[in-house]
Amino acid sequence: MVAQGGLGYLESARWHDGTLWFSDMTRYKVYRLSSDGRPEVVADVPGRPSGLGFDPDGAPMVVAIDDAQLLRLGNATPEKLADLAPVAFHPNDMAVDRNGRAYIGPQGYVFGEDPVGVSLVVCHPDGRIDTGGEDLIFPNGIAISGDGRTLVVAESFRAPRTRLTAFTVTDDGSLVDQRVFAEFGSPDTETIDGICIDSEGAVWAAFPWIGEFRRVRDGGEVTDIIRITPDTEAYPDGGAFAVDLALGGPEMRTLYMLISDTNPQRLGNSMDATGRIEAIEVDVAGIRD
């Protein structure tokens, strides 16, 4: 166990500058782990934090879901970089490339209503906002390959089969050549949440409803599966949701797994969850900053 206690529903695991960062959507905070494994509060985000990333100078950036804003953290008051409301309903997860471009996935529709296909939102460092891709169903986890040329996004609730969708990233940040990276089962069981990419271009993906983390190659071959179990002492009535993950550590071979013990009803009503972070060593390293 890396960290537990005092944490809620965790999202957006990111390894940056030798430490793990993540958002707590229940407690409206962004954390990083200290050298002794204690979560340290980086910022309070009243607009409910989700997607995290870092600009070329290392400043943290976060998506505030409820306010539909892209923020830069670091000062006493977060700085608004972009108002996402005109282009994104419930902006959620995010990946930031080495040029500072932020790729953001909007939820796109209200749960319980018919899914609506959307595009990714691309926020450029100069303030321009573009879109990329089309007909994405609940684009969620987003990751960029080590060479910056491939972006992969999880279509969490696409029916009849959830999928990872890939794009080629052009020199100006545009997304072209939309294609299927891998397909899975029904969104009732195999919905996908957070993802990360390793140095071989394979994707680690979190499957919350079934409590699994899987490593998947382009084309759909699953090479590794990690199954997690509920922490019934911390949350007696819940299951173990595999939420997000990141590769880090001294050799970039430590897979940090964000896990939230909860159940669908309590999660849907108030994001009620008990969060924890576990880690395991894997064979293929992640991508360094």
Mean residue pLDDT across the chain: 93
Superfamily of domain 3-281: TolB, C-terminal domain (2.120.10.30)
Give the Cα separation of 92 and 94 in Å (integer).
Answer: 7
Query: By the 8 A CB rule, do 64 and 48 touch?
Result: yes
Give the Cα separation of 87 and 65 in Å (integer).
Answer: 13
Residue written as tokens 């691309």? 122
pLDDT, residue 235, reads: 64
Radius of gyration of the chain (CA): 17
Give the Cα separation of 105 and 51 in Å (integer).
Answer: 9
What average pLDDT does the segment 265-270 reach? 66
* pLDDT tens column, 70-129: 999 987 778 999 999 999 999 999 999 999 999 999 999 987 788 999 999 999 999 999
* pLDDT tens column, 231-267: 767 666 667 889 999 999 999 999 999 998 877 776 6
Q: Give residue limits of the domains in the chain.
A: 3-281
Q: Which residues contact 148 (CB under 8 A, 6 or more apart)?
A: 97, 98, 169
Query: By the 8 A CB rule, do 286 and 253 touch?
Result: yes
pLDDT, residue 236, reads: 67
Tokens for 255? 């897979």
Query: By the 8 A CB rule, do 181 and 165 touch?
Result: yes
Q: Which residues contact 213 (CB under 8 A, 6 or more apart)?
A: 204, 205, 206, 207, 225, 226, 228, 242, 245, 255, 257
Peptide bond into 160 cis (omega under 30): yes
Query: By the 8 A CB rule, do 200 and 284 touch?
Result: yes
